[in-house]
């Protein structure tokens, strides 16, 4: 009996050992599983953290992109664009005028600044002008210091016209040859610009590049007074250089720079020996307004011809317009067809007769004296330069009169060209 009891205890001891071993294996397995589970959870948490970080970074970048909308985003886009043209404001000693001009330009130039880099070129050392120009961080400042004495060619001439010519040559040389621009738009320090000023020049730049018979593009119409204009979409070719806000290509400056005149550079450009039959694009409604009553010209013609100028206030979508009719091979026929359709007017009281006719009117003039007499009756410019009336194309001067009707003052040579017989 005692032996049986001893054997039973021995079996219990073995069973307890087996049980303990099994429990230890189970514990070890659970611990390993727990470690793996913890590692998996930690890995998952790490992945989740990285995902959240990535989401945060994406959100941050999206926020930055949103913040770049408008001008900042446009600047990033503009950085990869080639400038259409440099814009230079020619200044001397009128700080108040310069400020008005800069503010007018910046109003429309800021959103497209890299496509139209803005410069102020000062002739001389007027401290107020220099200080005013340097107060704007949106433009580049250039200073022309010329200490060479001026010798006029004729007694009594203003030396200012000689200084102005020197300044123009220096500034355009700087912009074309030092800064390497392909086109330059030239403004003076007494001008305001229209809302579509830059769009107009961008569209015209294509014409300037394509058609070498176009010498320059202007934003000005000498007969652009309120009573003589109507259509902001209408453009013309002209044999007369308008100036007052104009764009020039480097290829043309390469030709002009070596022979630039000592004075009266604008009238020099109007000489046939210099424009060589090339023409200029001009609008019917001006894209610049000249407010400079006080300047080198001493206010000449200001009250009659400059103050009443109509500055365009219509935002024309020039990019959507087909301007191919202005190319040389098309324009002569286009313009001739318009002139032919106009109703001829003869005799005395031409102004009254023209006013009472519906539609366009054609009036013949015999010579310069006859033209000046007719122009005086209507109130338009009477001036000629080297045989060409202001604004004329092949001797034809066109303007509106009180309404949408156009008046064509037509010289005898153009009528012969069109094979029109008029008494």
Calculate mean pLDDT across residues 98-107. Answer: 98
Q: Quick one: fold of 337-417?
A: 2,3-Dihydroxybiphenyl 1,2-Dioxygenase; domain 1 (3.10.180)
> Which is it for strands 214-218 and 246-249: parallel, antiparallel or unpaired?
antiparallel
What are the phi and psi torsion angles at 400 (to 5°)? -85, 160
The confidence score (pLDDT) of residue 43 equals 46
Q: How far is CA 74 from CA 78, 142, 318, 325, in A?
A: 6, 27, 20, 32
pLDDT for the residue 3: 43
Across 321-340, b (16+ Cβ under 10 Å) vs e yields eeeeebeeeebeeebbeebe
Which residue would you say has higher pLDDT here, 5 or 216?
216
At a CB cut-off of 8 Å and minimum separation 6, what does 159 contact? 150, 152
pLDDT in tens, 158-194: 999 999 999 999 999 999 999 999 999 999 999 999 9
CA 106 to chain centre: 11
Between CA 78 and CA 82, with CA 80 as vertex, the angle to 5 degrees is: 85
Neighbours of 294 (CB within 10 A): 12
- Which range is least confidently modeled, 67-81, 297-311, 341-355, 381-395? 67-81
CA separation, residue 376 to residues 145, 226, 381 (Å): 43, 17, 8
Tell me the per-residue pLDDT of 194-215, one tens digit each, with 9 for 90 and over: 999 999 999 999 999 999 999 9
Q: Is the pLDDT of residue 255 over 80?
A: yes
- Give φ, ψ of 404 to 5 degrees: -80, -5
Query: Residue 8: pLDDT above 90?
Result: no
pLDDT the model gives residue 25: 57
Using pLDDT thresholds of 50, 70 and 90, give the confidence band for residue 300: low
Residue 333, token pair as written in the block:
């026929």
Mean pLDDT score across all residues of the chain: 85
The CATH architecture assigned to 82-326 reads Alpha-Beta Complex (3.90)
Residue 126 region, left (φ>0) first, then alpha (ψ -120 to 50), else beta? beta
Query: Which residues carry out catalysis?
Result: 266
Task: Give the dihedral of Cα atoms 293, 299, 302, 303; nearest 10 deg.
Answer: 90
Query: Picking from 10-24, 50-64, 389-403, which range would have the lowest pLDDT averaged per residue?
Result: 50-64
The pLDDT value given to residue 21: 56
pLDDT score of 348 more than 50: yes
- Strand order from edge to edge, sheet including 396-400: 343-345, 361-364, 406-410, 396-400
Q: Give me the mean pLDDT over the 221-233 stretch.
A: 97
pLDDT of 38? 46
Q: What is the pLDDT of residue 305?
A: 86
Burial label, 277 (beta-carbon count in 10 A; 0-12, 13-18, 19+): exposed
How many Å apart are CA 122 and CA 141, to the nearest integer? 8
| Residue 65 pLDDT | 33
Q: Residue 217 has which token pair?
A: 């593009």
- 243-252, 273-282, 347-356: least confident range: 347-356
pLDDT of 279 over the 60 cut: yes
Q: Given CA atoms 99, 101, 104, 105 in this order, what sign does their dihedral have?
A: negative
Question: Which residues, in sequence order, are CB contacts of 132 under 8 Å at separation 6+?
Answer: 95, 98, 99, 102
pLDDT at 9 over 50: yes
The pLDDT value recorded for residue 147 is 87
- Is the predicted pLDDT of residue 27 greater than 90, yes or no? no
Q: In this structure, what token pair is assigned to residue 371?
A: 């033209």
Residue 304 pLDDT grade (very low, low, confident, very high; cuts 50, 70, 90): confident
With vertex at residue 318, the alpha carbon angle to CA 227 and CA 221, rounded to the nearest 5 degrees, is 30
């Amino acid at each position: 009996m005692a032996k049986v009891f001893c054997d039973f205890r021995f079996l219990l001891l073995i069973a307890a050992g087996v049980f303990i071993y099994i429990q230890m294996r189970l514990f070890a397995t659970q611990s390993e599983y727990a470690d793996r589970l913890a590692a998996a959870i930690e890995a998952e948490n790490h992945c989740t953290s990285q995902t959240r970080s990535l989401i945060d970074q994406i959100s941050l970048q999206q926020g930055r992109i949103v913040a770049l909308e408008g001008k900042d985003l446009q600047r990033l886009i503009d950085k990869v664009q080639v400038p259409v043209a440099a814009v230079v404001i020619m200044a001397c000693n009128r700080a108040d005028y310069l400020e008005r001009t800069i503010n007018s330009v910046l109003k429309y130039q800021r959103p497209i600044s890299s496509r139209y880099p803005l410069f102020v070129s000062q002739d001389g050392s007027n401290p107020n002008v220099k200080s005013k120009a340097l107060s704007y961080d949106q433009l580049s400042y250039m200073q022309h210091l010329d200490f060479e004495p001026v010798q006029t060619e004729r007694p009594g001439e203003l030396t200012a016209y000689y200084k102005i010519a020197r300044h123009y040559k220096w500034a355009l040389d700087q912009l074309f040859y030092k800064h390497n621009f392909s086109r330059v738009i030239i403004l003076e320090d007494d001008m305001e610009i229209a809302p579509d000023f830059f769009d107009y020049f961008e569209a015209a730049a294509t014409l300037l590049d394509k058609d070498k018979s176009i010498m320059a593009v202007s934003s000005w119409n000498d007969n652009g007074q309120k009573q003589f204009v109507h259509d902001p979409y209408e453009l013309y070719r002209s044999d007369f250089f308008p100036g007052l806000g104009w764009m020039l290509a480097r290829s043309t400056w390469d030709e002009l720079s070596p022979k630039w005149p000592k004075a009266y550079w604008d009238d020099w450009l109007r000489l046939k020996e210099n424009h060589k039959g090339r023409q200029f694009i001009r609008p019917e409604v001006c894209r610049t307004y000249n407010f400079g009553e006080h300047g080198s010209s001493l206010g000449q013609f200001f009250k009659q011809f400059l103050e009443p100028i109509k500055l365009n206030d219509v935002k024309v979508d020039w990019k959507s317009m087909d301007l191919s009719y202005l190319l040389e091979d098309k324009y002569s026929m286009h313009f001739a067809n318009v002139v032919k359709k106009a109703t001829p007017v003869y005799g005395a009281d031409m102004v009254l007769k023209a006013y009472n006719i519906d539609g366009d009117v054609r009036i013949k003039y015999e010579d310069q004296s006859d033209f000046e007499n007719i122009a005086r009756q209507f109130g338009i410019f009477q001036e000629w330069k080297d045989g060409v009336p202001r604004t004329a194309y092949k001797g034809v001067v066109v303007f509106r009169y009180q309404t949408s009707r156009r008046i064509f003052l037509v010289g005898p040579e153009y009528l012969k060209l069109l094979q029109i017989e008029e008494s």
